[in-house]
Amino acid sequence: MKDFFYAIQDLFVNVLLKPLDALKDLELENWFSANIFNWIFMAIGVVAFVYWMLQLKKHSDNGEENKSITSHSYI
């Protein structure tokens, strides 16, 4: 049973997390390259934000939004 858990440890440490070790070593040489995943996620976030804002503007220009003040009875 103990060998099973050592096999799981070996799989993660020596196989699945090896690319992250390479990124850790790359950080000493070039910080921007080592953080490529962060740059990719930030770019995806910016594109999604711009798309969402354009969709909101499109719906606002069409007058589809209910802007009545009495939308809730408690107000």
Check whether 59 has a pLDDT greater than 90.
no
Q: What pLDDT does residue 61 have?
A: 87
- Phi and psi dihedrals of 72, rounded to 5? -125, 140
CB 6 within 8 A of CB 13: no
pLDDT tens for each residue of 8-33: 999 999 999 998 888 888 888 888 88
CB 46 within 8 A of CB 40: no
Tokens of 70: 């009495």
Q: What pLDDT does residue 4 have?
A: 95
Q: How confident is the model at residue 71 (pLDDT cuts 50, 70, 90)?
A: low
